[in-house]
Amino acid sequence: MADLNRRTFLTVGGVGLAALLTGVPGLAGAAERPAAGTGPAAPVPASGGTPPGPYTFGWAADDLLAFDPGSTPWARHLRCLIPRAARIAPFAATQAHPDLDPAVQLSTLTIDDAGSIYEGQNQAIGLEAQVYTQRYWSYIDIWGTWHGQVKGSAPIEMIDGKRTPGRPYGVIDIPNPGWTEAAHKNGARSIGGWFWPRPVDFDAFLVQAGDGSFPVADKMIEIRKYFGFDGLFINQERSVSAAQIKKFQDFLRYLKRTDPDFYLQGYDSADFDSGEVSYENRLSENNLRWLGTPDAPIYDSLFMNYWWQATTGGADRDLSKSAASAVAAGRDPRVVGFAGVEHQKGGFRPEEDFGSVAGPGRPAPTSVALFVDSQIWLNGSWDGATSTADGRATYRDLEQRFWSGPTGNPGTSGRVEPRMPPYRTDTLNYRQWDGIAHWITERSPYSALPIATDFNVGVGSAFFLEGANVRDRGWDNMGSADRALTWQFWTEGDVVVTLDESTSYGSGHSLALRGGGVTHLFKTDLTAAKAMAVDVRAQGLSSIDLGITWQDAPAEIDWRPLTTSTSAGWNSWTGGVDVRGRRIARISLRTGGDGRLGRVSLREAGKPLKPATPTGFQVADAGDAGGGRRHLSFAWDLQSDAVGYDVLQIGDAGTTWLGRVHRDVFFAEAVDLAGGRQFQLVAFGGDLHRSAPVKAALTL
């Protein structure tokens, strides 16, 4: 990693991977990708200043010491109130690769605002259809944010789309709360970032009180708990003195002793004794000291620098030395060691080949860390491709091949061509890439009913409720995404599945199905005291069967036909399964014909999980947005029977969806008051049943 803000590379040094699309063998739809600059004006990534409404920002020591939820801008809007879900135990019989080792973990550092016009201060909820969101959470154990952020006291000014010089960056970034919400829904950790150097006083972080406490560490713990994230990635990548590095270790030991749940992953970049920058490119007796001791821990894991498998001078080409060093230190190498793979420059063809030491039937010696898996999308944004629905479809296809393998099917992952140097060239050639599903087993939070999805991926160019279009412009909010499908897309037969932006039943997307066959949706470990009620909303399909893989008979799928009632737009397909105390290990659909899936809802039979009508709903003016539009702020009372809330505008022309959140506040950007000054709040439960609305009126 660079010793300065990595966004320097992102904004001035990146090569537009999208320009290479036409040379990718077998890329579906590549020939149809719109040329850059055609159609509507493409949003220019990082061209905007401070966003309106809630945004995250960087923190230096003085900012941390001054933290007060009551005075910190937008603090209530930046909280994740969703606890991290527990994941079910591995069950090889329903893995896409039954002989893949579930002990190998995945960590990733992601530019979570890839494609956004805002840079330096991160907008949690916005109006951008082109931004990157994550939908492959089932492979991620530790997700981390990767980008510097300007201090909150320094709103960003842009001149002709370029940043003004001398902007003061913080050392610490908290993660985008929407990404923390999505990570927690799916059982992954969400960690922020510590980046050193910055032009602030390093010793200011290390001040120790007379009682032995570290005030900055106490504040770091306070903000972690208040904002609801899980820890930090420590990128200590500029030399400090031996005295400072020792004090820093004391600081971290104190932090871990005070808050054992504060997860710390450290980059292999700082010598334990001298404080000098030093990359060992493997786990060693020396850098494993950064883990501390069982009674005085420091880091929980280490991100090994990329050169572990360098073409010349690779320190540990098969990772056997790293594994042996960890074992000798009494550590599990798959828990404490993550071998770095550089995708920011390498795309599908990084220099590092974790697939040479991992795969079905080949347990990897360590775990793996991805650096900037979002870069492919970001480069497409620079090229202008992701500003159109067709362009986004192309890059969603590339995403699918990155995570699920070159066929787009995790059941058939693995490279279809041998890797050939030189690497970090031909970076969109996914045929030489295994896919993450070839190294990492699918994880799942699906341990109980209800399970429900409208295929919400946290971004869209429109929004639909119960099949009705209630928004016709772009929006983004990673936190609003449904829990992820376990596989995207593990299919059998002739069916081809794609994420479809053109219409939806209850979000901004649906699944388009072409041809008949089986689509595996959820890896589960669940039972029910009652029958399981099934409700699927679909268009155009001639048949739908629900497939149950029982844990006690995993070699066969128990198929149950669903019955349909036709209606305008979306048909309802329903059925039931008598679970009788047996455990369900996988849920699949077998479909006939061409059409779309809009919703899959599974719950215990009986009364739907319909929340009570919300209380305390208020709306207030939050500023002029120009052109007859106003920024608005909403608040209400949280209720235990709701998992989320929709905010709606009501007027003579109909209903407009403004946004969805899982907390008790919402900021709506640039609301056109010509659409009405009456607003509604609707709560929904875990099976997506909706409450009666509560109303509020805006008075200016």
**pLDDT reported for residue 153:** 81
CB atoms within 10 A of CB 81: 15
Residue-wise pLDDT tens digits, 237-269: 999 999 999 999 999 999 999 999 999 999 999
Query: How far is Cα 291 from Cα 299, in angstroms, rounded to an integer?
Result: 5
pLDDT at 319 over 60: yes
**pLDDT reported for residue 38:** 43
120 contact partners, CB below 8 Å, separation of at least 6: 7, 46, 148, 149, 150, 156, 163, 167, 169
**pLDDT reported for residue 11:** 26
pLDDT at 191 over 70: yes
Residue 244, Cα to own-chain centre: how many angstroms?
Answer: 35
Give kind and range of the element (H or E) at residue 393: helix 389-404
Query: How far is Cα 427 from Cα 672, in angstroms, rounded to an integer?
Result: 43
Distances (CA, A) of 467 to 506, 507, 508: 6, 9, 10
- In the structure, what pLDDT confidence band is assigned to residue 9 with cuts at 50, 70 and 90? very low
Single out the residue of 273, 275, 262 nearest to residue 228, CA to CA: 262
Query: How far is Cα 156 from Cα 308, in angstroms, rounded to an integer?
Result: 38
| Contact between 507 and 482 (Cβ < 8 Å) | yes
Query: How far is Cα 330 from Cα 155, in angstroms, rounded to an integer?
Result: 48
Long-range contacts, 247-253 (Cβ 8 Å, 24+): 247/206, 247/208, 248/205, 248/206, 248/275, 249/292, 249/298, 250/208, 250/214, 251/205, 251/206, 251/208, 251/214, 251/216, 251/217, 252/217, 252/292, 252/298, 252/299, 253/292, 253/296, 253/297, 253/298
**pLDDT reported for residue 40:** 57
| Contact between 688 and 454 (Cβ < 8 Å) | yes
Average pLDDT, the chain: 92
Phi, psi of 163 (to 5 degrees): -70, 145
pLDDT at 351 over 90: yes
Half-sphere exposure of residue 118, counting CA atoms within 13 Å on the CB side? 26
Residue 168, Cα to own-chain centre: how many angstroms?
Answer: 27
Residue-wise pLDDT tens digits, 591-604: 999 999 999 999 99
Q: Which residue has the higher pLDDT, 2 or 575?
A: 575
- In this structure, is the dihedral angle defined by the CA atoms of residues 435, 436, 439 and 443, taken in order, positive or negative? negative
**pLDDT reported for residue 223:** 98
Query: How far is Cα 148 from Cα 291, in angstroms, rounded to an integer?
Result: 25
| Contact between 525 and 570 (Cβ < 8 Å) | no
Buried b (16+ CB within 10 A) or exposed e, 660-677: bbbbbbbbbbbbebebbb
Pairing state between β 367-371 and 451-453 = unpaired
- How much helix, strand and coil, in percent to the nearest 5, is found in the chain? 20, 30, 50
Single out the residue of 571, 501, 503 nearest to residue 539, CA to CA: 571
Cis bond before residue 422 (omega within 30° of 0): yes
**pLDDT reported for residue 299:** 98
Q: What are the tokens at 576?
A: 């039931």
Buried b (16+ CB within 10 A) or exposed e, 544-579: bbbbbbbbeeeeebeebebebeeeeebbebebebeb
Residue-wise pLDDT tens digits, 538-555: 999 999 999 999 999 999
- In the structure, what pLDDT confidence band is assigned to residue 41 with cuts at 50, 70 and 90? confident
**DSSP annotation of 594:** S
**What's the chain's Rg over C-alpha atoms?**
25
pLDDT at 169 over 60: yes
**pLDDT reported for residue 12:** 25
**pLDDT reported for residue 311:** 66
Phi, psi of 38 (to 5 degrees): -90, 160
**pLDDT reported for residue 292:** 98
**pLDDT reported for residue 535:** 97
What DSSP letter does each residue of 163-219 carry, written as one string? EPTT--B-SEEPPPHHHHHHHHHTT-EEEEEEEE--SS-GGGGG---TTS--HHHHH
Query: How far is Cα 389 from Cα 498, in angstroms, rounded to an integer?
Result: 13
5-14, 210-219, 379-388, 670-679: which range is least confident on average? Answer: 5-14
Residue-wise pLDDT tens digits, 370-414: 999 999 999 999 999 999 999 999 999 999 999 999 999 999 999
What are the residues facing 565 on neighbouring strands? 572
Query: How far is Cα 35 from Cα 24, in angstroms, rounded to an integer?
Result: 16
CA torsion angle 473 474 475 481 (round to 10): 100
pLDDT at 7 over 60: no
Q: What are the tokens at 233?
A: 């990635």
**pLDDT reported for residue 323:** 98
Long-range contacts, 285-292 (Cβ 8 Å, 24+): 285/325, 285/328, 285/329, 288/325, 288/326, 288/329, 288/331, 288/336, 290/266, 291/329, 291/331, 291/336, 292/249, 292/252, 292/253, 292/256
Residues in the chain: 700
Cis bond before residue 634 (omega within 30° of 0): no
Residue-wise pLDDT tens digits, 614-658: 999 999 999 999 999 999 999 999 999 999 999 999 999 999 999
Residue-wise pLDDT tens digits, 57-90: 999 999 999 999 999 989 999 999 999 999 999 9
Cis bond before residue 611 (omega within 30° of 0): no
